[in-house]
Structure 1
Amino acid sequence: MAKTGEAMSNNIEFTAPGMDNESAKRTIDILQQRLTALLDLQLTLKHIHWNVVGPNFIGVHEMLDPQVDSVRGMTDTLAERIATLGGVPKGTPKSIVDARSWDDYDLGRALVKDHLIALDNVYKGVNGDHRKALEELSEIDPVSEDMITGQLADLEQYQWFVRAHLESSTGELKS
């Protein structure tokens, strides 16, 4: 019987036609990093949804659920692309925690402004890493690059929604 790590490894036996196994493995690794980040983001958004309080509560509370649903769809797309390339998508709680390179979201029940400032920082990290992934994918897999580009457009719009709550009339972000 295979150990858990062996059962979830990315030993590629096949990949998409026209793609070599080394490019597929690198693509899978990049997509798995993005999958981990988006699974974490999805949970963080729902956590904020449950714990945001204060002025403008309902607007922020209701703004977050569509983002959760959209990010959930992104995770499914990434996981299916990983499988298409011959990999094994990892989405267990332990795999998420083990693969993260960032600290856990540390706000519980908190005011709208505090959560939105923290969420803006979460989006900075996720979106910045999506851009880095695009640079690498442009060299090895245009299909995955296109997927990440589409996701980034939505993620940047969600960050703009967050920042609109923090922005002054002169365009400065409150912190």
Structure 2
Amino acid sequence: MPSRNDLHDNAKRTSIEVLDGVLADSIDLYNMTRHAHWNVKGPHFASLHQLFETFYAQLATDIDELAERLVTLGGTAMGVSQSIPGRTRLPPYPAGIRQGQAHLENLLQRYALVAGNLRAGVEATDEAGDADTADLLTGLSRNIDKAVWMMEATAETA
């Protein structure tokens, strides 16, 4: 889509591609986190239920930022559920788990993958000359890193 944003075309193309991948991953991760929130059971139910809610609330804000930046650069934010399976880079979430420790382990694995994808995106968009997208992704990376830290700390006692 045409845009009056004065970034060079290569920077826009690179950023749109990176943002599209991170958006798909983030929507998938949001849905996985909601699933864990709804289905967690066990002795740490209350704390994990609340923790997962905190994570998906942050993801909802981050997803909006990603989508808006993508559209700002002239891309299309593909957020419908039918578009996610073919674009996400995350492994499927096991639907049948219930215990808190299993949810923590599965979410940790996926959050760590998203963290790595965000860092790669920071590097790619910065090298392409889009400091604003690199800055946005850096902020989102901090949010995911904090969630990883909180889950790792919780897993020690869960």
TM-score with structure 2 setting the length: 0.93
Equivalent residue letter for 1:44: M
Which secondary structure does the structure 1 equivalent of 2:153 belong to? helix
Give 2:148's aligned residue.
159
| 1:31-70 to 2 correspondences below 5 Å | 31-70=19-58
| Residue number among 62, 70, 86 corresponding to 2:74 in the alignment | 86
2:5–2:73 CA contact under 8 A, matched in 1? yes
CA distance in 2, matches of 1:38, 1:97: 12
> Does the aligned pair in 1 maintain the 2:62–2:140 contact within 8 Å?
yes
Amino acid at match of 1:132: A
Structure 1 segments (4+ residues) deviating >3 Å: none
Matches of 1:109 and 1:115 in 2, distance apart?
7
Larger radius of gyration: 1
C-alpha contact (below 8 Å) 2:25/2:89 kept by paired residues: no
Gap runs ≥5 in structure 2:
none
Identity of aligned residues (%): 28
Tell me, yes or no, if the aligned pair for 2:115 and 2:145 is still in contact at 8 Å. Answer: yes
Specify the alignment match of 2:105 in structure 1: 117
The runs of 5 or more residues in structure 1 that have no matched partner are 1-11, 169-173
Kindly indicate whether structure 1 or structure 2 has the higher relative contact order, using CA contacts under 8 Å at least 6 residues apart.
2
Q: How many residues align?
A: 157
Q: Report the alpha carbon displacement of residue 109 of structure 1 after superposing the two structures with TM.
A: 4.0
Structure 2 Cα separation of the partners of residues 15 and 144 of structure 1: 16
Which of 131, 135, 141 is the aligned partner of 1:142?
A: 131
CA RMSD between the two structures: 1.5
TM-score normalised by L of structure 1: 0.85
CA distance in 1, matches of 2:58, 2:33: 11
1:25 correspondence with 2:13:
yes
